[in-house]
């Protein structure tokens, strides 16, 4: 059984059609990259899959691990094992990062039929994961993403992924706003989470990220549809020729 | 003469029984205050200061002056009221001191705590020149009414340089099991020069009662007073409180009021600042049902080089209504004043209303003053972020509301009272969030 099957997905934002028939199948253990120019619908695809309000599916279906994903609320999707690493992680004053992580982890553990971790167990668990990503105790104590640098926010996203151990991780432009050192730390964190039973959907504008997170498949999204799919070589070809040649070829 | 204003009619019959009757200065003070009340009358929305808080329902209820006898039914401080574990307790039932419910043993030398009625009876001369000196009845009709009718309340005197080792906890219990009762608690707190003290107040009760309190608080030169109040009255109660605070040079005042109770409640803080004073008047309010909760403040920068800070945050649900009126006055010679005021309200349902009125009146030219007010619903973006991590909508909303109010609670400088107030807020939130449906 495929992990994710997107069939002829159409979606609108504020009544405007953005996704116009997306088809995509992800098998467990595989990393898929979706590349596309600005306005092609990349972020819309990630929000539609995560269940954000205001992103309305008008037709098509999405099966996730055998269930109808579109019938679930955002929090139910997360508990079912879907994870979205945000392009712009939200700052939430007054909610400590650890408090947030503990609430999220225990919600997901409860869904899996596991008992919640107590404060001591949680601290031990989180410290181990955090040190790999150079997330300091100070960051964990601070309010969620408040005053974090761009790199710290993205590391925090990957930490959440490591803690919640999803079946499918969607990384929405995780490279945006990162310098090369920060990008390496984040990519290392992501690569450590590659696993035979976990799928990944890496959404990016630039090929650069794919030097570090090497995909099994690459898809080009343009004007709300996937117009070409291939292996990692497609990303290099795209880098060389630019989007215009692909989008143009499709139009012609 | 026929008295027509509500409450005033009872005066002539009661006057002879009021504490200190026959003491000339006190009789004069009561009569003068009654005149002030009658001249202004029970406030209506036509009075600017009462534009948003309507006392019509109060006038209609027909409260009778609380008798000491009705207090006897309260034999213990109700469960869950004691917000502080380790404190001296001065308890009052329907505005009257209850020795049985109080725990005042072991007070440090130089600290006098007890019943104002007793002090009036035993040592009225000590009160002359203190009681009724800093409250301006000609501008505060309800405070004037209190002065005319006051029976009892907290008398607290901390001598110069004395440190009160534990918080003093004023517990006020309203108890009306029959007719609607009114009482006019009167508190006098004098903290001597260089003294350090923490005063915590908890107001609770059941039944239909009207508490019209006045606190006169004098913080001496260089003294530190922490003053934290929990207004958690019964949901049929009317709670009006005027806190007049006189801060002498170099005094530090850390004030906080958490209002969660009452059918209609108004807490007014009026602070008069000397030189190099640090004054913090903060608060939070949580309202649901048909509650009406008013916070009114007046910060009078009467001397140079002082700072004042106000942070008031509120959460309103169902058809609750909130009012925030904050006035800062910087007088002509009060240069180098630093004043800050912020009011934020979170509205959880469409039936709620908040009226917020900041007012800055500045006559000095070298000052720093800022104010801000925001009103809004829970934002979608943080809510989605939390839900995208598997947190259910009830919990996610609770986390965000708690974080919102937490920023106000963080203003409380003393740890134990802050934690106690946090527990009250979390209890309120747990109750509110339970009732919310799963959809957003």
Q: What is the pLDDT of residues B233-259, one digit of tens each?
A: 999 999 999 999 999 999 999 999 999
For chain A, the three-class secondary structure string (H helix, E strand, C coil) is CCCEEEEEEEEEECCEEEEEEEEEEECCCCEEEEECCCCCCHHHHHHHHHCCCCEEEEEEEEEECCEEHHHCCHHHHHHCCEEEECCCCCCEEEEEHHHHHHHHHHHHHHHCCCCCCCHHHHHHHHHHHHHHCCCCHHHHHCEECCCCCHHHHHHHHHHHHHHHCCCEEEEECCCCCCCHHHHHHHHHHHHHCCCCCCEEEEEECCCHHHHHCCCCEEEEEECCEEEEEECHHHHHHHHHHCHHHHHHHHHC
Structure tokens at A219: 């898809």
**Do B104 and B114 form a contact (C-beta atoms < 8 A)?**
yes
pLDDT tens-digit profile of B315-359?
999 999 999 999 999 999 999 999 999 999 999 999 999 999 999
pLDDT tens-digit profile of B383-405?
999 999 999 999 999 999 999 99
Q: Spell out where B149-234 has E strands.
A: 154-158, 168-175, 181-183, 186-191, 196-206, 209-219, 224-231
Which of B381, B390, B403 lies at the smallest CB-CB distance from A107?
Answer: B390
Q: Of A128-132, A146-150, B300-304, B308-312, which gets the smallest average pLDDT?
A: A128-132
Residue B291 burial (10 A CB sphere; 0-12, 13-18, 19+): buried
Nearest to B366 by CA among B329, B330, B342, B328: B330
* Partner-chain contact B388 A73, CB within 8 Å: no
Distance CA A9, CA A21 (A): 5
Nearest CA in chain A to B379: A92
Answer whether A113 touches B (CB < 8 Å): no
Q: How far is B409 from chain A (nearest CA, A)?
A: 11
The predicted structure's pLDDT at residue B63: 83
- Side-chain half-sphere of A230: how many Cα atoms within 13 Å? 12
Answer whether A146 touches B (CB < 8 Å): no
Assigned domain for B399 exists: no
Nearest to A44 by CA among A12, A68, A76, A70: A12
Assigned domain for B95 exists: yes
Distance CA B354, CA B369 (A): 23
What range does the domain containing B360 cover?
8-378
Structure tokens at B314: 């509120």
Q: How far is B250 from chain A (nearest CA, A)?
A: 32
The predicted structure's pLDDT at residue B304: 98
In what helix (H) or strand (E) does residue B360 lie, and over which residues does it extend? strand B353-362
* Partner-chain contact B382 A160, CB within 8 Å: no
* Partner-chain contact A111 B390, CB within 8 Å: yes
The predicted structure's pLDDT at residue A162: 96
pLDDT tens-digit profile of B1-26?
678 888 898 899 899 999 999 999 99
pLDDT tens-digit profile of A61-93?
999 999 999 999 999 999 999 999 999 999 999
The predicted structure's pLDDT at residue B127: 97
Q: How far is B385 from chain A (nearest CA, A)?
A: 7
Kindly list the residues from chain B whose CB atom is less than 8 angstroms away from the CB atom of residue A111.
390
Query: Is the predicted pLDDT of residue A193 greater than 80, yes or no?
Result: yes
Band of residue B439 on the pLDDT scale cut at 50, 70, 90: very low
Assigned domain for A125 exists: no
Q: How far is A105 from chain B (nearest CA, A)?
A: 8
Total number of domains constituting chain A: 1
The predicted structure's pLDDT at residue B104: 97
The predicted structure's pLDDT at residue B82: 61
Average pLDDT, chain B: 94
The predicted structure's pLDDT at residue B81: 66
Structure tokens at B216: 């006169």
As a whole-number percent, the residues of chain B with pLDDT over 70 amount to: 96
pLDDT tens-digit profile of A94-118?
999 999 999 999 999 999 999 999 9
Band of residue B80 on the pLDDT scale cut at 50, 70, 90: low
The predicted structure's pLDDT at residue B85: 80
Distance CA B95, CA B150 (A): 9
CA B91 to chain centre: 16
Assigned domain for A229 exists: yes
Of the residues B342, B384, B390, B437, the best mutation for testing chain A's interface (the one with the most A CB atoms within 10 Å of its CB) is B390
Q: Which of helix, strand or coil describes residue B206? A: strand
Q: What is the DSSP letter of B272?
A: E
What range does the domain containing A187 cover?
4-93+167-251
Answer whether A94 touches B (CB < 8 Å): yes
Strand partners, A34: A203, A219
Q: Report the greatest alpha carbon distance in chain A.
A: 62
Q: What is the pTM of this model?
A: 0.90
* Partner-chain contact A99 B390, CB within 8 Å: no
Assigned domain for A86 exists: yes
Distance CA B293, CA B241 (A): 12
Q: How far is A134 from chain B (nearest CA, A)?
A: 21
Cα first-last separation, chain A: 36
Band of residue B437 on the pLDDT scale cut at 50, 70, 90: very low
Assigned domain for A89 exists: yes
10 Å Cβ neighbour count for B87?
Answer: 21
Assigned domain for A60 exists: yes
Query: Is the predicted pLDDT of residue B68 greater than 70, yes or no?
Result: no
pLDDT tens-digit profile of B281-293?
999 999 999 999 9
**Do A85 and A157 form a contact (C-beta atoms < 8 A)?**
yes
Distance CA A61, CA A48 (A): 11
Assigned domain for A197 exists: yes
345-404 in chain B: CB under 8 A from chain A? 380-382, 384-393, 395-396, 399-400, 402-404
Assigned domain for B388 exists: no
**Do A204 and A43 form a contact (C-beta atoms < 8 A)?**
no
Q: How far is A201 from chain B (nearest CA, A)?
A: 16
Band of residue B148 on the pLDDT scale cut at 50, 70, 90: very high
The predicted structure's pLDDT at residue B33: 97
Q: What is the average pLDDT across B199-228?
A: 97
Query: Is the predicted pLDDT of residue A235 greater than 80, yes or no?
Result: yes
Structure tokens at B354: 């908040």
Q: How far is A139 from chain B (nearest CA, A)?
A: 17
In sequence order, which residues have a C-beta less than 8 Å from that of residue B129 and are 6 or more positions away? none
Answer whether A160 touches B (CB < 8 Å): yes
The predicted structure's pLDDT at residue B440: 35
Kindly list the residues from chain A whose CB atom is less than 8 angstroms away from the CB atom of residue B406.
94
Assigned domain for A69 exists: yes
CATH code of the domain containing A24 = 3.40.50.300
Which of A53, A92, A94 lies at the smallest CB-CB distance from B385?
Answer: A92
Nearest to A55 by CA among A185, A172, A198: A172
Distance CA B343, CA B340 (A): 10
CA B241 to chain centre: 5
Kindly list the residues from chain B whose CB atom is less than 8 angstroms away from the CB atom of residue A103.
386, 389, 391, 395, 399
Assigned domain for B365 exists: yes
pLDDT tens-digit profile of B96-122?
999 999 999 999 999 999 999 999 999
Band of residue A252 on the pLDDT scale cut at 50, 70, 90: very low
Kindly list the residues from chain B whose CB atom is less than 8 angstroms away from the CB atom of residue A126.
none
Of the residues B311, B383, B385, B411, the best mutation for testing chain A's interface (the one with the most A CB atoms within 10 Å of its CB) is B385
Distance CA B286, CA B316 (A): 6
What does residue B160 show for φ and ψ, rounded to 5 degrees? -50, 135
- More confident position, A1 or A235: A235
CA B392 to chain centre: 36
Assigned domain for B159 exists: yes
CA A37 to chain centre: 18
Helices A150-164, A97-111: axis angle to 10 degrees equals 30
The predicted structure's pLDDT at residue B1: 61
Q: What is the DSSP letter of B431?
A: H
Query: Is the predicted pLDDT of residue B275 greater than 80, yes or no?
Result: yes
Assigned domain for A115 exists: no
Kindly list the residues from chain A whose CB atom is less than 8 angstroms away from the CB atom of residue B393.
73, 75
Query: Is the predicted pLDDT of residue B438 greater than 90, yes or no?
Result: no
Kindly list the residues from chain B whose CB atom is less than 8 angstroms away from the CB atom of residue A89.
385
**Do B53 and B294 form a contact (C-beta atoms < 8 A)?**
yes
Answer whether A108 touches B (CB < 8 Å): yes
**Do B262 and B210 form a contact (C-beta atoms < 8 A)?**
no
ipTM score for this prediction: 0.96
Q: Which of helix, strand or coil describes residue B152? A: coil
The predicted structure's pLDDT at residue B346: 97
10 Å Cβ neighbour count for A232?
Answer: 17
Distance CA A178, CA A189 (A): 14
What does each C-alpha distance from B6 to A206, B59, B62, B65 come to in angstroms?
Answer: 76, 6, 8, 12
* Partner-chain contact A92 B406, CB within 8 Å: no
Q: Which of helix, strand or coil describes residue B226? A: strand
Assigned domain for B351 exists: yes
Q: Which of helix, strand or coil describes residue B216? A: strand
Chains A and B: how many Cβ contacts under 8 Å? 79
Nearest to B367 by CA among B313, B299, B312: B299
Number of H helices, E strands in chain B: 9, 21
1-40 in chain A: CB under 8 A from chain B? none
Distance CA B174, CA B208 (A): 9
What does each C-alpha distance from A110 to A80, A233, B249, B385 come to in angstroms?
Answer: 11, 42, 58, 19
Nearest to B120 by CA among B15, B17, B20: B20
Which of B389, B407, B438 lies at the smallest CB-CB distance from A160?
Answer: B389
Gyration radius of chain B's alpha carbons = 21
Q: How far is B393 from chain A (nearest CA, A)?
A: 8
The predicted structure's pLDDT at residue A176: 87
Answer whether A107 touches B (CB < 8 Å): yes
Q: How far is B410 from chain A (nearest CA, A)?
A: 10
Q: What is the DSSP letter of B29?
A: H
As a whole-number percent, the residues of chain A with pLDDT over 70 amount to: 98
Gyration radius of chain A's alpha carbons = 18
Kindly list the residues from chain B whose CB atom is less than 8 angstroms away from the CB atom of residue A100.
386, 389, 399
Total number of domains constituting chain B: 1
């Amino acid at each position: 059984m495929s992990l994710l099957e997107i069939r002829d997905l159409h979606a609108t934002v504020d009544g405007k059609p953005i996704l116009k028939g997306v088809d995509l199948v992800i098998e467990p253990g595989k990393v898929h990259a979706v590349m596309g120019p600005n306005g092609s619908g990349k972020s819309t695809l990630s929000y539609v899959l995560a269940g954000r309000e205001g992103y309305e599916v008008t037709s098509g279906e999405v099966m996730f691990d055998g269930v109808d994903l579109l019938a679930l609320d955002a929090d139910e999707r997360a508990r079912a094992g879907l994870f979205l690493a945000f392009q712009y992680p939200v700052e939430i004053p007054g909610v400590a990062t650890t408090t947030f992580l503990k609430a999220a982890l225990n919600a997901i553990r409860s869904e899996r039929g596991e008992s919640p971790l107590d404060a001591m167990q949680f601290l031990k668990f989180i410290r181990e994961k955090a040190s790999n990503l150079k997330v300091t105790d100070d960051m964990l104590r601070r309010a969620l993403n408040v005053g974090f640098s761009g790199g710290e926010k993205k590391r925090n996203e990957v930490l959440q992924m490591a803690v919640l151990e999803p079946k499918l991780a969607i990384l929405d432009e995780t490279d945006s706003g990162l310098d090369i050192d920060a990008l390496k730390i984040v990519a290392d964190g992501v690569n450590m989470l590659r696993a035979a039973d976990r799928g990944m959907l890496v959404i990016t504008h630039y090929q650069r990220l794919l030097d570090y997170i090497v995909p099994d498949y690459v898809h080009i999204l343009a004007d709300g549809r996937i117009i070409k799919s291939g292996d990692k070589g497609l990303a290099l070809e795209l880098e060389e020729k630019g989007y215009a040649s692909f989008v143009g070829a499709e139009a012609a | 003469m026929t008295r027509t204003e509500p409450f005033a009619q009872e005066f002539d019959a009661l006057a002879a029984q009021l504490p200190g009757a026959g003491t000339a200065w006190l009789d004069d003070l009561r009569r003068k205050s009654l005149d002030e009340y009658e001249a202004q009358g029970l406030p209506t929305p036509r009075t600017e200061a009462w534009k948003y808080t309507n006392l019509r329902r109060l006038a209609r209820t027909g409260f009778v002056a609380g008798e000491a006898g009705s207090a006897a039914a309260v034999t213990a401080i109700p469960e869950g009221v004691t917000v502080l574990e380790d404190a001296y307790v001065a308890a009052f039932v329907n505005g009257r001191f209850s020795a049985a419910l109080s725990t005042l043993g072991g007070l440090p030398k130089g600290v006098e705590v007890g019943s104002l009625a007793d002090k009036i009876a035993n040592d009225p001369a000590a009160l002359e020149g203190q009681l009724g000196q800093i409250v301006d009845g000609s501008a505060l009709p309800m405070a004037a009414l209190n002065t005319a009718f006051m029976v009892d309340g907290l008398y607290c005197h901390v001598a110069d340089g004395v440190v009160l080792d534990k918080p003093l906890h004023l517990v006020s219990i309203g108890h009306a099991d029959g007719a609607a009762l009114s009482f006019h608690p009167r508190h006098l707190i004098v903290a001597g020069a260089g003294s350090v003290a923490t005063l915590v107040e908890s107001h609770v009760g059941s039944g239909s009662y009207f508490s019209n309190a006045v606190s006169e608080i004098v913080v001496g030169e260089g003294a530190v007073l922490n003053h934290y109040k929990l207004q958690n009255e019964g949901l049929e109660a009317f709670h009006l409180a005027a806190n007049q605070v006189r801060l002498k040079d170099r005094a530090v005042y850390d004030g906080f009021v958490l209002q969660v109770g009452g059918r209609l409640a108004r807490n007014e803080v009026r602070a008069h600042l000397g030189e190099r004073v640090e004054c913090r008047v903060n608060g939070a309010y949580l309202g649901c049902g048909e509650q009406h909760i008013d916070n009114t403040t007046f910060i009078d920068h009467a001397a140079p080089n002082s700072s004042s800070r106000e942070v008031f945050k509120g959460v309103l649900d169902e058809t609750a209504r909130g009012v925030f009126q904050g006035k800062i006055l910087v007088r002509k010679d009060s240069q180098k004043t630093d004043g800050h005021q912020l009011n934020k309200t979170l509205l959880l349902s469409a039936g709620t209303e908040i009226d917020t009125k900041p007012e800055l009146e500045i006559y000095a030219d070298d000052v720093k003053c800022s104010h801000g007010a925001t009103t809004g619903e829970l934002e979608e973006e943080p809510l989605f972020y939390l839900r995208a991590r598997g947190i259910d909508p009830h919990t996610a909303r609770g986390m965000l509301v708690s974080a919102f109010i937490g920023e106000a609670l963080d203003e409380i400088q003393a740890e134990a009272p802050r934690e106690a107030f946090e527990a009250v807020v979390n209890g309120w939130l747990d109750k509110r969030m339970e009732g919310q449906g799963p959809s957003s």
